[in-house]
Amino acid sequence: MIDISSRDENGVEVVEVDGKLNTGASPDLEKYLIALIEDGTTNILLNLEYLDFLASTGLRVILATGKKLVGSGGKLVICNPNLMVMDVLKMSGFSQLFEVFDSEDDSLGSF
């Protein structure tokens, strides 16, 4: 089960993901993010503060979203991953592909 919500912060769509981003939940996040991009969003901040688990299917969604945003002149930034999620981001190389911040305020300043 996953809960997804978002809000606009000065032109950056802050997307909060709560739960487990596994094979069953990844399509839900993908649809949510695609809808934002189709509505004209170019900058997304993924706040992972309440994400408990990140599977490879979730990584694929993050990568595909990041590529779409860069292609439209925007970017994707990640903030607040817990230690387990940060380990996954590091081991997969995603911490080198995307900026990762400890706080939402710091990450908003990167746009």
Q: How far is CA 97 from the centre of its chain?
A: 12
User: What pLDDT is recorded for position 1?
Assistant: 77
Distance separating alpha carbons of residues 2 and 18, to the nearest angstrom: 6
3-state secondary structure of 79: strand
pLDDT along the chain (111 residues), means of 10: 94 96 96 97 97 96 96 96 95 95 95 94
Task: Give the DSSP H or E segment for 59.
Answer: helix 56-71
Q: What's the predicted TM-score (pTM) here?
A: 0.94
Tokens coding 83:
């230690």
